[in-house]
Amino acid sequence: MSATSIKSPPIVRRPPGPSRASAAGLLPKMIRNRLDVMEWAVREYGDAVRVPLGPKTLYLFNHPDHARHILVDNVTNYTKGIGLTHARRVMGDGLLTSEGEKWRKQRKVIQPVFQAKRLARQVDAIALEAEALVARLRERAGRGPVDMREEMTELALGVLGRTLIDADLGAFEEMGEAFETVQDQAMFEMMSLGTVPLWLPLPRTQRFKKAKQYLQEVTDSLAAARKANPEGLGDDIVSRLIESVAEESDPQTGRERMRDELVTLLLAGHETTASTLSWSLYLLDQHPEVRERVHQEAVEVFSRGPLDSAALHGLSYTSMVLEEVMRLYPPVWLLPRIAKEADEIGGYSVPAGADVIICPYLLHRDPKWWPDPERFDPERFATASRAGRDRYSYIPFGAGPRFCVGNNLGMMEATIVLAAMCRDLTLTSAPGSKVEGEPMLTLRVRGGLPMNVAVR
C-alpha cells in the first residue's frame, strides 16, 4: 500500500466562538432577547458555535445532521438541558422534564391518550370549541380590538379539557393566570440558572407558590371528580394517571406526581397551540391572498356537513399554512440538552457535561435549506416541494424518542380552529400594534395580539 493511500483520521476541533472576555456582555443581551444573540452567533461563526455566557458555555449546533445526531443517533448521551433542568424546580418531574426510566414509564401511561383512533373521536369536541369561539368573536365584531392571543389561550385550554381530561376547565377561572405565573418563574429559573433560592420572600416567588398551590387544588379536584364518577374510569388522561399513581406507596408522592403530569401536559399543550394559532392569524393578516385561499377551502369543506377525521383531509391547504407558520415561528423554539459523555458532532468536540443547544427557529430560517427563508410561503409544504428536503431541517415538534407526544392533536386542533375562523371572519391587526416574538417556554406573541374582527 502506498503512503498516499493511507487516510489520516479527521481532525476534531473545538467549535469557533467569541472569547470569554469579548462575550462578557452577552448574558444581559441574552436575558433581553435570546433569539437575537443566537442569530448573531450563527451569523458570525457558522453552524457550530461555542458561546460563553456567564459561568456557562453553550454549544449551539445549527445543521440538520447535528440535530439528527443529538436527537436520534446518539440520543442516549443527552439529557434535558439548560432551562428545562432549572424549570424542574417549578414544574416538577412531568413528561417535559423527567429523564430515563421515569420518563419511559410516564410516556407509556400517557401515549394511549394520543392514539389515532382516540383522536379521531375528538373531532366533534374540537369543532364545538371552534364554533363557540367563532360565536364569541361574532359578538365582538366592530366593537374594537380583541386580544387574540388571550382568545387562543382560552380556546386551547377548552380543547384540552374536552379531549384529554374529559372535563370543563372553564370552571377554573384562575388557571390561565396560574400557568402564566408558572411559565414566568420557569423562564426566570432558566435565565438565573437556578441560583435564586425559592425560599426568598420575593414577590415573584410568592406569586409562584400561590399559583402552584392553586394548580394542586385543580388537579385534586379533577381527580376527585373522576373517582366519584359512577361510570368509573375512562380512557382520558386523568383516569390513566389515577390508575398509575395508585401504585405509589406514598399517597402524597402520587398526588404530586399527578399534579406534575397534568400541569406539564396542560401548560405545554395549550401554549404550543395557542402560539401557533396566534402567529397564524398575524401572518394571514399580512398575506390576505393566503387568507382567502384558507377561507375558500373552509367554505367548501364545512358545506359538506359536520366535520369528521376523513373531512380533515380536505383542509390540506390550511395544514400547509400551519406548517409554514411553524417553520417561521416554531412553538418549541429551543431544544436544550446536556452531554453525559464527551462527543463529536459534525467534526467538532463537545466535552462531557456541556450545554448543547439546537434552535429550530434558526434551523428553519437557514437559507441552505429554505430558499428566501424569511418569506411566508405555504407552498413549501406541498407534496412536490417536500421531495429531497432533509428530514431534520424542519423539527417544530422535535425528533427522535422525545418527539412531541401531542403533535397530532395539536395539528388537528389548529387546522379545525383556523379553518372555522377564516370561514366566517376576517381578522386584521389593530392600527399601531407591534408584533414581535417572546421566546418563553414557547415562542409566543409578546404582550398580546390585538385584532379587529369583521364578519364575512
What does the pLDDT look like over 8-20, one tens digit per residue?
A: 556 669 999 998 8
Per-residue pLDDT, 323: 98
Per-residue pLDDT, 86: 58
Per-residue pLDDT, 191: 66
Torsion on CA atoms 188, 192, 195, 197, rounded to nearest 10 = -20
Whether 83 has a pLDDT exceeding 70, the answer reads no
Per-residue pLDDT, 276: 97
Can you tell me which residue has the cell 380556546?
155
Per-residue pLDDT, 333: 93
Confidence of residue 91 (pLDDT cuts 50, 70, 90): low
What pLDDT digit, counting tens, does each position of 413-431 carry?
A: 999 999 999 999 999 999 9
Domain range list for the chain: 9-455
Amino acid at 198: L
Size of the chain in residues = 456
Measured in whole angstroms, how far is the alpha carbon of residue 63 from the centre of its chain? 20
Query: Would the CA dihedral through 149, 84, 182, 198 be positive or negative?
Result: negative
Query: Would the CA dihedral through 443, 280, 328, 403 be positive or negative?
Result: positive
User: Is 95:107 a contact under the CB 8 Å cutoff?
Assistant: yes
Amino acid at 20: R
Whether 56 has a pLDDT exceeding 90, the answer reads no
Whether 362 has a pLDDT exceeding 60, the answer reads yes
Q: What percent of the chain has pLDDT over 90?
A: 51
Nearest-angstrom CA–CA distance, 375 and 281:
16
Mean pLDDT of 241-253: 83
Per-residue pLDDT, 84: 63
The closest alpha carbon to 397, from 386, 411, 384, belongs to 411
Is 367 strand, coil or helix? coil
Q: Which of 175-189, 197-211, 372-386 has the lowest mean pLDDT?
A: 175-189
CATH of domain 9-455: 1.10.630.10
Kindly state the cell numbers that stand for 422: 377564516
Whether 1 has a pLDDT exceeding 50, the answer reads no
Mean pLDDT of 96-105: 77
Per-residue pLDDT, 232: 67
Q: Which helix (H) or strand (E) holds 429?
A: strand 425-429
Whether 360 has a pLDDT exceeding 70, the answer reads yes
Q: What percent of the chain has pLDDT over 70?
A: 93
Nearest-angstrom CA–CA distance, 74 and 142:
55
The closest alpha carbon to 265, from 161, 180, 337, 122, belongs to 161
The closest alpha carbon to 417, from 205, 130, 150, belongs to 130
Measured in whole angstroms, how far is the alpha carbon of residue 180 from the centre of its chain? 15
- What average pLDDT does the chain have? 88
Q: Which helix (H) or strand (E) holds 158?
A: helix 148-160
Higher pLDDT, 155 or 82: 155
